[in-house]
Structure 1
Amino acid sequence: MRDIEPPVATPGEVVVDVERVGVCGTDVELFTGEMSYLHTGRSWYPLRPGHEWCGVVTALGDGVAAEWLGRRVTGDTMLGCGRCARCRAGRHHVCAELAEIGISRGRPGALAEQLAVPVTALHPLPDTVDPTLGALAEPGGNALRAVEAAGLQPGERLLILGTGTIGLLAALFARAQGIEAHLLCRDQEALRLAQPLGLATAAVRAGSSARADAHPASAGVWTRASLPELPWHAVVDASNAPGLPGLALELVEPARRVVLIGLAGTPSTLDTRDLVLKDVTAVGILGGSAGLAGAIAAYADGSVDARPLVAVTAGLAETVGILAGRRPAGAGPGPKIHIDPRR
């Protein structure tokens, strides 16, 4: 923790007074040195993390419309060059010159009292989206993209591998679209996360011998041993386990989709022969850019309430301990920790 000069809005930028920041697994990997970008030269120290945020615009650079001043906003993490063919086609999140707020190419993040950000990255927040939900827009955008990539219709069945922030958010967005969402967890601890979200009202099936004739009409939370023999119309891997992409392919119905949004620390295993012989489509998801507006809209209209995911909101001075793996006293069961830099 250190005091620095406040940011200045350069042309096309704004300065935001940060209200809330989410701590992500990527932030922890940047702190510990495990993040692959640190070894490829895409990221370097010193580095200020924080890419899940919201706040109030308090200063404008040249060329920024006056209407932004005083607005509550969140922002896209992915900053493309704006000039290349990918950016012009709306795929700025895979720009060859991509800079990521709080992650790569020296772009400072939001774990601070103030943040400078290009106005082109901003998304206004409606009054119904409080700071907690505002800082969940970025992971929400990722989860929503994963659900949309599954290509399901209302009433169809989705299996989500993993009960971290993205997995739980994906289940919430799927449920809001009328999709029957199920979660695969490692153990019964996941029930403590799923219950406050209404995702485990049918109870965890850990240790049960449930089969298709016993499955609930709504979502369930299952362990591998208790997973019922149901047709899974799509499977989303939101875990960091290298073996689960292969499991997703094994479980999904033929000619349907597996969606891969989790990243393992080692290469994942997936037999392309099975992919071909089952005529399965595999979709990779990088970043929440295209899902931000939809996530904000779902939070605003109340169809998705993700606030129970947040275990605790801590002060900025506690950030170092949190990044080092120390969970604040009094934290709830949720997987997400938020920081309020004003504390």
Structure 2
Amino acid sequence: MRAYVLTGPYEGSVQDVPAPTAAAGEAVIDVERVGVCGTDVEFYTGEMAYLHEGHSSYPIRLGHEWSGRVTTVGAGVDPAWVGRRVTGDTMLGDGTCRRCLRGHQHVCENRQEVGVRGGRPGALADQLAVPVSSLHRLPDTVDATLGALVEPGGNALRAVQAAQLNADDRVLILGPGTIGLLAAMFARSLGAEVHLMGRADSSLEFARELGFANSWHEDELPEVPYDAVIDASNAAALPARALDRVEPAGRLVYVGLAGEPSLIDTRDLALKDVTAVGVLSASPGIAATIQAYAEGTIDPRPLVAATVPLERVGAPLAGERPEDAGPGPKIHIDPRLGGA
């Protein structure tokens, strides 16, 4: 089968590789859609921390935001899975450690991450093999595009849940990228007043087109109280800015990661009686995200700017947008599309 293989920083190509087989407890998926994520870009540039910590190495097969259809299953798996449309959890714990046994497999020290960590191949390929225990069935109302938006949606949903918003709350979201805009959609569905802060005129204008009129450059941000601040950016300076802008007794949520250490003054955290929460992975939020998409509570499909064939994945990894791309922040790959 075809798979995109990254062999080093800025070096990758579509290669012919052995098709996966379903080991015991696993399923093979025909991949229908894959999202290109900032994590994938960091692997492409060589900046991803896992590369320097020994959790990942080249060559690597990327792709952890995906949807598809089960084609075969391994020993011990109910054959009823065959033919089902699914997406899957990125985080695969060892299933035996204290964290896994307490339901926290997404922070298992020995975890694999699909397309990210521990040598588990990702979904930028014709097919993907994963444990059936990681799969989530997609209802008919959740199409392939929505299915590949479940993973970022789960991260965003968990960030909003951590903010504990009420209908009369005002929330500030830093970074109007995919996670930030998804968080804004979930927050709006709860009745909160949503503000977004970003740097690029184009991303702020797109946020306004989605109905988020309160989208600001930093120097335009109004002096109003924010009951919660969600940092969905990759800017090292913004975690401290978030602490500065949150109301006393409010909540901070950190779901973005900078490429260098971010510093906050914990004296301000204590003296303002602020609760700060970190969010890693969609895992505990996947089922609720699928339900929200299925019910139409939010529709994130406008975030997808373009869908291109597998042979064109190198361009978005390098930061290039297709000529016919819309204004959204997300590029999707459909391995079923032909053409270079």
- Residue 266 of structure 1 corresponds to 260
Residue pair 2:204, 2:216 contacting (<8 A) in 1 also: no
Q: Are 1:141 and 2:135 matched, yes or no?
A: no
- Please give the alpha-carbon distance, in whole angstroms, between the structure 2 residues aligned to 1:336 and 1:129: 18
Q: Are 1:326 and 2:339 matched, yes or no?
A: no
- Please give the alpha-carbon distance, in whole angstroms, between the structure 1 residues aligned to 2:238 and 2:42: 21
- Residue 150 of structure 1 corresponds to 163
Given residue 236 of structure 1, which amino acid in structure 2 is its aligned partner? I
Q: Secondary structure in 2 aligned to 1:2?
A: strand
- Residue 96 of structure 2 corresponds to 83
- Residue 228 of structure 2 corresponds to 234
Q: Are 1:46 and 2:59 matched, yes or no?
A: yes
Given residue 182 of structure 1, which amino acid in structure 2 is its aligned partner? H
Residue pair 2:208, 2:215 contacting (<8 A) in 1 also: no
User: Per-residue CA shift, 1:135-174, capped at 9, x if unaligned?
Assistant: 0000000000000000111221111011110000000011
- Please give the alpha-carbon distance, in whole angstroms, between the structure 2 residues aligned to 1:326 and 1:254: 41
**Residues 131-210 of structure 1: matches in 2 within 5 Å?**
131-200=144-213
> TM-score normalised to the size of structure 1?
0.93
Q: Which runs of 5+ in 1 are unaligned?
A: 201-219
Given residue 111 of structure 1, which amino acid in structure 2 is its aligned partner? L
Bigger shift: 173-182 or 42-51? 173-182
Residue pair 1:233, 1:252 contacting (<8 A) in 2 also: yes
TM-aligned CA deviation for residue 177 of structure 1: 1.5
Q: Secondary structure in 2 aligned to 1:338?
A: strand
Q: Secondary structure in 2 aligned to 1:225?
A: helix
Equivalent of 2:35, from 3, 12, 22?
A: 22
Q: Are 1:221 and 2:215 matched, yes or no?
A: yes
- Residue 95 of structure 1 corresponds to 108
TM-aligned CA deviation for residue 327 of structure 1: 1.4
TM-aligned CA deviation for residue 67 of structure 1: 1.7
TM-aligned CA deviation for residue 225 of structure 1: 1.5
Query: In structure 2, do the counterparts of structure 1 residues 34 and 70 end up closer, same or farther at CA, with 3 Å as the change threshold?
Result: same
Q: Are 1:278 and 2:269 matched, yes or no?
A: no
User: Per-residue CA shift, 1:104-134, capped at 9, x if unaligned?
Assistant: 1100000001000100000110100111110
Q: Secondary structure in 2 aligned to 1:139?
A: helix
CA-based RMSD of the aligned residues comes to 1.0
User: Per-residue CA shift, 1:13-65, capped at 9, x if unaligned?
Assistant: 00000000000010011122111111111001110000000000000101111
> TM-score normalised to the size of structure 2?
0.94
TM-aligned CA deviation for residue 186 of structure 1: 1.4
TM-aligned CA deviation for residue 335 of structure 1: 0.6
Aligned length: 324
Bigger shift: 190-199 or 314-323? 190-199
- Residue 214 of structure 1 corresponds to none
Residue pair 1:128, 1:300 contacting (<8 A) in 2 also: yes
- Please give the alpha-carbon distance, in whole angstroms, between the structure 1 residues aligned to 2:206 and 2:63: 23
- Residue 133 of structure 2 corresponds to 120
Q: Are 1:311 and 2:310 matched, yes or no?
A: no
- Please give the alpha-carbon distance, in whole angstroms, between the structure 1 residues aligned to 2:206 and 2:75: 45
TM-aligned CA deviation for residue 84 of structure 1: 1.1
Given residue 23 of structure 2, which amino acid in structure 1 is its aligned partner? T
TM-aligned CA deviation for residue 329 of structure 1: 1.5
Percent sequence identity is 63
- Please give the alpha-carbon distance, in whole angstroms, between the structure 2 residues aligned to 1:156 and 1:321: 40
TM-aligned CA deviation for residue 191 of structure 1: 3.0
- Please give the alpha-carbon distance, in whole angstroms, between the structure 1 residues aligned to 2:46 and 2:223: 41
Q: Secondary structure in 2 aligned to 1:253?
A: strand
Given residue 296 of structure 2, which amino acid in structure 1 is its aligned partner? G
TM-aligned CA deviation for residue 198 of structure 1: 2.2
- Residue 215 of structure 1 corresponds to none
TM-aligned CA deviation for residue 260 of structure 1: 0.4
Residue pair 2:106, 2:283 contacting (<8 A) in 1 also: yes
